[in-house]
Amino acid sequence: MARKSAYWISTALLCLLYLASVTMYLTMADQVRHSFATLGYPAYLREILIVVKLLGVAAVLSRVSVRLSDLAYAGLFYHLLLAASAHIYAGDGGFIPAVVGLIALITSFITQNAAREKKSVFLRLAA
């Protein structure tokens, strides 16, 4: 029961973090473009990340395909890792949400088989 609760809480936190990010990208477009430029990223990355973040959340929550869900976890992991490192390099303190996201993502991934009917093959191999 604790693993199920850990899964749903961490997954909800992770998805809310990504949905809040997409909302910010949509409502504060100019500030986001400026932030991307400050970090050394092109402005058009904003539009790509809006789509990719929404698709990642949909894949994790819907779990239409376990392989697609696991691939989304991998993509979200690399995104959060790169976001944290970019903010640490910039020294702007923006790495905290990325670190929180990484913790939520790892917890969600590790506990997913306890809460979901369709099991991840990657977790069965590690056990």
What are 55-96's pLDDT values in tens digits?
A: 999 999 998 999 999 999 999 999 999 999 988 988 888 889
Dist CA 83 CA 50 (whole Å): 15
CB contact at 8 A, 98 and 39: no
pLDDT confidence tier of residue 127, bands split at 50, 70 and 90? very low
The model carries a pTM of 0.89
Q: Quick one: pLDDT at residue 9?
A: 96
Dist CA 52 CA 47 (whole Å): 9
Does position 125 have pLDDT exceeding 70, yes or no? Answer: no
Does position 126 have pLDDT exceeding 60, yes or no? Answer: no
Does position 7 have pLDDT exceeding 80, yes or no? Answer: yes
Q: Quick one: pLDDT at residue 79?
A: 95
* Ramachandran sector of residue 40 (left: φ over 0; alpha: ψ -120 to 50; beta: rest): left
> Domain-by-domain residue ranges, the chain?
2-126
Dist CA 76 CA 100 (whole Å): 13
